[in-house]
Amino acid sequence: MEHMDIIAVIAHKGGTGKTTLALSLAVEAQLAGHNTLVVDLDPQTSALNWSARRNNDCPAIIESTASDLPNALAKAKQNDVDFVVIDTPAGAHPATSAAAKAASWAIIPCRPQVYDFESIPLTLQNLGLAKALVVMNNVPLRRSRYHDAIKVINNFNVLICPYTVGYRLSFSDAAFCGQTVHEFQPRGKARREIGTVYKHLVMLMKSIDSRRKYLSMLHDAQR
Ligand SMILES: Nc1ncnc2c1ncn2[C@@H]1O[C@H](COP(=O)(O)OP(=O)(O)O)[C@@H](O)[C@H]1O
Ligand SMILES: [Mg+2]
């Protein structure tokens, strides 16, 4: 049976782009050749609703709960799924800790806005020992806000993805049609940005497989 990578998209603050990044990274993984599954743990079921508007069975999407998650993942593995993206609700929901426990990496989307970045320590508290990567999302053209946010996040002892996702309306327009930016604007900047973030994540997953290596990389990044 093949190895199955599991990533969870988690943020204590709502509206930071969890569902958007979860679906975009899942489609990117699917296009990279993975048999991909999205697990929607959010009672709001935004990912599930997206799939109902979608004219395509890939990636597969299922709804689950914190207690059912281990079963759902075991079944996915039996069905040769090799890449799982878990979308989670905001707040300290039981789904968040279940997702963090199951995943090898947690992606934390964060907009360069104070209510988002000041909530990162709370998000990290809910992650337990999961390895985490902050991905800056909704970054406006004026980069000063991004740089101000990074200065604060640098104090939080978490890795920050060096690649960002810009503020682009194509994300919400694509979601309305049950698509991601891959299908909505195949040659657009949003798609390229998602591709770059995905490649960075895959590089991290390959090079930092253990918690010990993660902590040492974190230590190097903060020097
Ligand atoms: N990079 C982006 N640029 C523009 N709009 C975005 C971006 N990322 C997310 N959005 C929009 O922001 C809103 C909240 O995103 P969503 O993924 O639902 O967040 P969450 O799941 O964290 O609540 C949605 O309307 C979504 O289309
Ligand atoms: Mg959501």
DSSP 71-129: HHHHHHHHTT--EEEEE--SSS-HHHHHHHHH-SEEEEEE-SSHHHHTTHHHHHHHHTT
CA 21 – ligand 1 centroid, Å: 8
CA 90 – ligand 2 centroid, Å: 8
pLDDT in tens, 154-208: 999 999 999 999 999 999 999 999 999 999 999 999 999 999 999 999 999 998 8
Binding site membership of 140 for ligand 1 (Cβ less than 6 Å): no
**Mutation probe of ligand 1 site: the residue of 42, 145, 165, 172 with most atoms within 8 A of C-beta:** 172
pLDDT in tens, 47-85: 999 999 999 999 999 999 999 999 999 999 999 999 999
Task: Note the pLDDT of residue 1.
Answer: 62
Task: Note the pLDDT of residue 169.
Answer: 97
CA 15 – ligand 1 centroid, Å: 6
| 177 φ/ψ angles, rounded to the nearest 5 degrees | -95, 10
Overall pTM surpassing 0.75 (yes/no): yes
Task: Note the pLDDT of residue 211.
Answer: 78
Binding site membership of 175 for ligand 1 (Cβ less than 6 Å): yes
CA 212 – ligand 1 centroid, Å: 33
pLDDT beyond 90 at 122: yes
Buried b (16+ CB within 10 A) or exposed e, 105-124: bbbbbbbbeeebbebbeebb
Domains identified in the chain and CATH numbers: 5-221 (3.40.50.300)
* CA distances (Å), origin 203, targets 14, 113, 209: 28, 28, 10
Higher confidence at residue 216 or residue 167?
167
Task: Note the pLDDT of residue 214.
Answer: 82
